[in-house]
Structure 1
Amino acid sequence: MTEFAQSVEEKTPKAADAVMQATDAVVVLKDVHKSFGANKVLNGVSFEVERGTVTVIIGSSGSGKSTALRCINRLEVIDRGEISVCGHHVNDPSVSLKALRLDVGIVFQQYNLFPHLTVEQNITLAPRLAKSVSKAAARELARESIARVGLAEKAHHYPEQLSGGQQQRAAIARSLAMQPKVMLFDEVTSALDPQLTGEVLRVIESLAAGGMTMIMVTHEMGFARNVADQILFMHQGRVWERGDAQIMRAPQSAELQRFLESDM
């Protein structure tokens, strides 16, 4: 019997919250809890992400998806549980946040580009400040990253001269220039017009094809089906179901079924 069949039979998501056994996990969450005041946002979240794989987190607003992502990069501090990322014990108060964030890049819904800097200048800034690389080396990193996201011809443009999709691709390039081991994407297409969403998703697909380890919170169900190695459905602050694209074709819980129907 599969993990999800057991979950349905027991009428509890407990089995789906058991940590999967991975052979090469670079991200591990064990029984993670997080509250904001009286609001319990994460209620025992556990999962693992293997090196070179894509994990997509889906679920309704308020299910804890983005909070889980922010906890991985310690933008939020968990109440209890354990998080390990690339050997960093994230919940350890003595963890080096600089070292952690050099290994873990994150791209948000907002582009957060400096309006007075060109695309290239926006991207060279972090390597020079955080990694103390030379101006020439930072420029080379920027050019490589810009090329990866298909913006070579826009390197000397300012953010206001770019479309929303191009600005988001520039934000992705900025994170890539730091040469992270893991990339986190938090609803990076939700603020874009539908016609611009595709160009950003194609960039992320190319990163997946290149073996980048990624965790992505998204409502793009087609992307999840086509690209994800692992899909996590979050509900009420827990991982309610997990698996590959098959769980979207044959959900094992009524909660996932309702979510998928509401997204159509």
Structure 2
Amino acid sequence: MSYGAVQVLKGINLEIEKGQVVALIGRSGSGKSTALRCVDRLEKINDGEIWACGHRLTNPNLDLRALRQDVGIVFQSYNLFPHLTVEQNITLAPRWVKKMERTAARKLAEEVLEQVGLAEKIDSYPEQLSGGQQQRVAIARSLAMKPKMMLFDEVTSALDPELTGEVLKVMEDLAANGMTMLLVTHEMAFAERVADRVVFMHQGRIREEGPSSILTNPATPELKSFVGSHH
């Protein structure tokens, strides 16, 4: 089953199968974050077609709320509400969008916090958490909507190296449990280990793509030089 052909920027063609993990890599400004943001309709699409989880993103009557229930996105800035507890941050959307009542919402928060290893932080406030913990709460918040696909946009780039590992582990667990994922990352070792496919973008186009082995055996001089600068 295909999760849609994404044609963005300068004629990108990309299909992601259900349960696949696809890593978008490339230098700053190569278009990878823009490509990712198009899949959640955070960027306007001028040309071409994008389908995600059965939603045609170029449809003028697209139900954005329905799309964003199916496609979760996590950014490098966690965007948690500082005046709300972890539970309230996580249950805001399910209670608002899905009209979930309080007890069920708390149970859901416990469940998704368990997935990211933070069950004991349910009543904490964001300021009481480290950056890595806040990012894991942001992932839990996305999971609470039970998405079919998750987008991750450089989610570890604002974190110290020792906090990066705990966030990557959560993503690795999600991948192992069959979540369809499209991620923009500069963590090459992680992409090599977890991604089913790696897509190297260069100047708004896909320059090279294939299994993660292309990182150890690049075919193009551009990817070779990119990988060289990241090891």
Q: Tell me how far 1:136 sits from its aligned partner.
A: 1.6
Report the counterpart of residue 66 of structure 1 in structure 2. Answer: 33
Report the counterpart of residue 189 of structure 1 in structure 2. Answer: 156
| Paired residues, number | 231
Q: Tell me how far 1:90 sits from its aligned partner.
A: 0.5
1:229 to 181, 190, 196: 196
1:146 to 113, 117, 128: 113
Give the partner amino acid of 2:30: S
CA–CA distance in structure 1, aligned partners of residues 12 and 107 of structure 2: 40
Give the partner amino acid of 2:211: D
**What secondary structure does 1:62 align onto?**
coil
Give the partner amino acid of 1:225: E
Report the counterpart of residue 62 of structure 2 in structure 1. Answer: 95
Q: Deviations over 1:54-110 (max 9, x none)?
A: 000000000000000110000011110110001100011111111111100000000
CA RMSD in angstroms comes to: 0.8
Calculate the TM-score normalised by the size of structure 2: 0.98
Report the counterpart of residue 3 of structure 2 in structure 1. Answer: 26
Give the partner amino acid of 2:117: G
Gaps of 5+ in 1: 1-23, 33-41
Q: Tell me how far 1:177 sits from its aligned partner.
A: 0.3
Q: Identical aligned pairs, as a percentage?
A: 63
Residues 93-242 of structure 1 mapped to structure 2, 5 A cutoff: 93-242=60-209
Q: Which runs of 4+ in 1 moved over 4 A?
A: none
1:85 to 52, 72, 79: 52
Gaps of 5+ in 2: none
CA–CA distance in structure 2, aligned partners of residues 94 and 132 of structure 1: 23
| Greater gyration radius | 1
**What secondary structure does 1:214 align onto?**
strand
Residues 51-62 of structure 1 mapped to structure 2, 5 A cutoff: 51-62=18-29
Q: Tell me how far 1:111 sits from its aligned partner.
A: 0.6
Moved more, 87-96 or 172-181: 87-96
Q: Tell me how far 1:190 sits from its aligned partner.
A: 0.1
Q: Tell me how far 1:193 sits from its aligned partner.
A: 0.2
CA–CA distance in structure 1, aligned partners of residues 79 and 163 of structure 2: 18
